[in-house]
Amino acid sequence: MTTVDDVSRPSRIAAPDEAISAEELQLATRNHGIPLEALRYDVTPAGLHYLLIHYDIPDVDPAAHTLTVDGAVDRPLRLDLAALRERPRVTHRVTLECAGNGRALLSPRPVSQPWLVEAVGNAEWTGTPLAPLLREAGFSPDAVDVVFTGADHGVERGVEQDYQRALPVADALREEVLLAYEMNGAPLLPQHGAPLRLIVPGWYGMAHVKWLRNIRVLTEPFDGYQNAVAYRLRRDADDPGVPVTRIEPRALVRPPGFPDFMSRTRVLRPGPCTVDGRAWSGHAPVTAVEVTTDGGASWTPARLDEPSGGRWAWLRWHLDWFPEPGRYVLGARATDASGRRQPVEQPWNRGGFANNLVQRVEVVVLAG
């Protein structure tokens, strides 16, 4: 008898010097990162924002779509999009980053979506806060987790499932968590979760469930695949690991000059240059960014712009640079108010998650 195991293989680590596979390239054509030159924008245009789709983009009719709230609640709720739009409306500017950002740069490489460093974006999300809805439903005092179910359905590592993620009750009740129906002032696009998605500021992208159709309150920990198996930091297959949650601090350089088509090596002419980029952290506000032009041998403090988008949005940093002709390797590392700082050596784990290793941008400054 044919089962889902016949089409869904276990996770694995690439062999030494193993090339990116056709399956990984297939994932890379469905999902895309931000072009790094788009770091110039305070708010990432929707078409440039990073995108990860676990299964298919579901065919959802906004006019017929409903959200249910059930489980360990006193008053189950069922709301259509019009009813959600009648509730208090707020907008938050939030940086989203995929938990697997940087995976393809690890050695050995976990075989999955082959992200480099571009799986990020900073958008304005509009919707209604989740917490009042949960309080209105009257969640049980014994509630432990809140489970969010999307309309996308598929198979992963042999498990057929709707995409589901849970938040601990305390995190679900944070006032900034949103049920969002707009992105950058326009209705959500299909690939970004239309007509409704969850926004959990400060958490990696796997928590921001798209095509949201159900919220269920549980009195025991959620043991679904995306919580208990996927998105855990583990050293080997037998390690139960710890859950991936908040975004580790990261700074990215907006590549200066112009690129070589294939290698993306940057080319500059001699003279004054402003090196800039963006920095963010889900743990605490970014307090410092340091820049290297020699591949990490030395570091220079950058200047931080005044925050323009609130606590959960990235901020711009910049540094004046006066390079002589030659070859350089640029990078930046962020430190946040919790004391966390980007590493210069890879934080390896089997899933390739939360890898905030310092970026490397190769630059050639021409002679004259």
pTM, to two decimals: 0.96
How far separated are the first and last CA of the chain, in Å rounded? 70
Helix (H) or strand (E) holding 253: strand 250-254
CB 192 within 8 Å of CB 199: no
The pLDDT of residue 2: 62
CA angle 250, 118, 281 (to 5 degrees): 20
Q: How many CA atoms lie within 13 A of 268 on its CB side?
A: 25
User: Which H or E run includes 107?
Assistant: none
Dihedral of the alpha carbons of 338, 342, 346, 347, in degrees to the nearest 10: 10
Q: What is the mean pLDDT of each run of 10 residues along the chain (368 residues)?
A: 73 89 93 97 98 96 97 98 98 98 94 96 98 97 98 93 97 98 98 98 98 98 94 92 97 97 95 97 98 97 94 98 96 98 91 96 93
Element (H, E) at 72: none
Q: What is the pLDDT of residue 9?
A: 82
Give the residue from 74, 215, 68 showing the smallest Cα distance to 142: 74
Cβ neighbourhood burial of 191 (10 Å; 0-12, 13-18, 19+): middle
> Strands 266-268 and 361-365: what pairing?
parallel
- The pLDDT, as a whole number, for residue 360 is 96
Report helix, strand and coil shares of the chain as percent, to nearest 5: 15, 35, 50
Element (H, E) at 135: helix 130-137
